[in-house]
Structure 1
Amino acid sequence: MSATFNHTIIAAKDRTVSAAFYRDVLEAADAPSWGFFTNLQLDGGVLLQFAEPPFDIQMQHYAFLVDDDLFDRSYALLRERGIEHWADPQMKRPGETNTEHGGRGVYFKDPAGHALELITRPYVSSQE
């Protein structure tokens, strides 16, 4: 069996607020939560687990590959909610999206300050 991505823990200031943010932007499904975790399920069985660590949160970067329809809905949600966003990771092109790598992309931050990215095409395609 080859390796596949199964789950990650995302540090949050408020796990419920962060999970709700990701649920809305990614249209993710609720998953059973337990202990210190509030969980969401993505396609392919990937679990996002939100927890409130007892230490300062270091910014992480999470990129999500979405189809064009979800990108449109998510981008509309960002604009509707007045969420600051950029076309580039350096945050020099505010209020824009990019068309790099043959698709569209946008960068923004979650409630805990993590850098999120939505892309409609993968950066690297598999080679045959």
Structure 2
Amino acid sequence: MAVTFNHTIIAAKDRTESALFFRELLEVQEAPSWGPFTNIQLPDGVLLQFAEPPVEIQMQHYAFLVDDELFDRAYQRLCDRGIEHWADPQMRRPNEINDEHGGRGVYFKDPAGHAIELITRPYL
């Protein structure tokens, strides 16, 4: 069997709020949830599990490769909701997107403070 990515646990201040944020932004469905997890599933089968850890949340970086149409819709949702965003990971170019790597990209923070990136072309 080839290696594939199956799931990850994303720390959240409010697991329901974070799961809903990603479901709406990425236009994905919720998945069955259990125990301390509220889950969503990406189209490729990867499960994102949101949980509220008993420790302070450390910022992580998550990047999602999306098609141009979803990027446009997601970016519009960020703007409509007034979510601060940047064209660069250093957060020096506010309210912009980038056109690096032959595509477009944007950085912003999710409800738990994680650094999220949407890109339309892979880096490699």
**Bin of the TM-score, shorter chain as denominator length:** over 0.9
Residue 98 of structure 2: aligned partner: 98
Q: Which runs of 4+ in 1 moved over 3 A?
A: none
| Sequence identity (%) | 77
Residue 68 of structure 1: aligned partner: 68
Residue 41 of structure 1: aligned partner: 41
The whole-number CA distance in structure 1 between the counterparts of 2:110 and 2:16 is: 12
Residue 30 of structure 2: aligned partner: 30
* Structure 2 length-normalised TM: 0.99
Residue 79 of structure 2: aligned partner: 79
The whole-number CA distance in structure 1 between the counterparts of 2:56 and 2:12 is: 10
The whole-number CA distance in structure 1 between the counterparts of 2:44 and 2:78 is: 25
Q: Displacement, 1:43?
A: 1.2
Q: Displacement, 1:21?
A: 0.5
The whole-number CA distance in structure 2 between the counterparts of 1:75 and 1:44 is: 22
* Structure 1 length-normalised TM: 0.96
Q: Displacement, 1:28?
A: 1.3
Residue 17 of structure 1: aligned partner: 17
Please tell me the residue identity of whatever aligns with 1:31.
A
Gap regions ≥5 residues in structure 1: none
Gap regions ≥5 residues in structure 2: none
Backbone CA RMSD of aligned residues: 0.4
Residues 73-102 of structure 1: per-residue CA shift (max 9 Å, x gap):
000000000000000000000000000000
Residues 32-91 of structure 1: per-residue CA shift (max 9 Å, x gap):
000000000001110000000000000000000000000000000000000000000000
Please tell me the residue identity of whatever aligns with 1:66.
V
The whole-number CA distance in structure 2 between the counterparts of 1:100 and 1:62 is: 17
Q: Displacement, 1:22?
A: 0.5
Q: How many residues align?
A: 124
